[in-house]
Amino acid sequence: MSAIEDQIKLRARDLEFDDCRITTSASPETSARLKDWLDEGCHGEMGYLERNAHKRVDPQLVLQNSRSVISLATAYSGYSNARSDGADVTAAGSAPHGVIARYARFADYHDVLGERLKTLTEYVDEIAKVESRSLWYVDTGPILERDLAQRAGLGFIGKHTNLISRRLGNWIFLSEIITTAALAPDEPEKNRCGTCSACIASCPTGAITKPFHLDSRLCISYLTIELKGSIPEELRPAIGDRIYGCDDCLAACPWNRFAREGSLMKRAARPDFDQPALLELLELDQAGFKARFRGTPMLRTKRRGILRNVCVALGNVGDESALPGLRRAAEDVEPLIAEHAQWAIGQIEGRTGRN
């Protein structure tokens, strides 16, 4: 390999990225759809998406004189035997357990990938034929990473609005390097969903309102992670025993039959997050919460957010054995936890005929 693009891809493989493709830093062709989506309010309370929308549709506002984007995929498939669907399978009389989205059953991917992205970015600037400047992002920058990844040929955006790789399925983390170096782009990928609508049918809340359109306000991942306040009561039953995110639409995708394990995330796996005991989580104080979730993406949801979700899950799958813990939670100094604990108590008492 001699071309600079081949050298970059070889270095990416050495750093254990599972795929690497290149595109230009021109504005994504789908930019107009972002404005329509925001105008409909589908971003919910994620105000940052609206505040930096102008940068997302114009990469030159992210890095002036940028010429290229290096798009990278890292697989996280195959490291867990726990469910991903949130269905209630708690056996009668057994301690209830919760479901965490598969991507969060690892050390924080921002940290795991960030270290290698920094190394790859330095390499790009080092081998560029002219002086270049580059910035790297992993789910943090104001860019339309899935749109750019599709244009780079890394995969295609499915009807569930996530990127699907023909080589890796949709269990992948995306990251990118935007650079002023002029690199030869790869061929874009075309959509390969065909007539399949498995992801749409699988969504518990109907958040995929039509193909390629997600209303975040209905999405369980949004409700359990991004939403900072109270979860709407009418949506709580659909959450089941999920306590952080939802994988249903991802798990339904038939392209996952080609999913492959990647070595990088395998070493960062957290088996203790496969089926966490809900009543144990409910007892966590602030210090205990930080100790349990330090170095994971769940830390940013804070104790009040995770315990809010735990209360909802217990309200859906708990029995009378959960009531003592929920009554203590109903006295928590954090009003958000107390409110959801009260709801959960009412749900369990209603099922057991104790009210």
**Among the listed residues 225, 247, 218, the one whose alpha carbon sits nearest the alpha carbon of residue 84:** 247
CA–CA distance, 203 with 209 (Å, rounded to integer): 10
CB 81 within 8 A of CB 105: no
Identify whether the C-beta of residue 215 lies closer than 8 Å to the C-beta of residue 207: yes
Rounded CA separation 216/313 (Å): 20
List 111, 125, 139, 274, catalytic entry: 139
Q: Is 139 a catalytic residue?
A: yes
Are 181 and 127 a contacting pair, CB within 8 Å?
Answer: no
Round to whole Å and give the CA distance between 5 and 244: 38
Identity of the amino acid at 52: N
- Token pair recorded at residue 36: 């329509």
CA distance 69 to 136: 10
8 A C-beta contact, residue 59 and residue 139: no
Candidates 96, 140, 95; CA nearest to 117 is: 140
> How many residues are given for the chain?
355
**Where in the sequence numbering do the catalytic residues fall?**
139
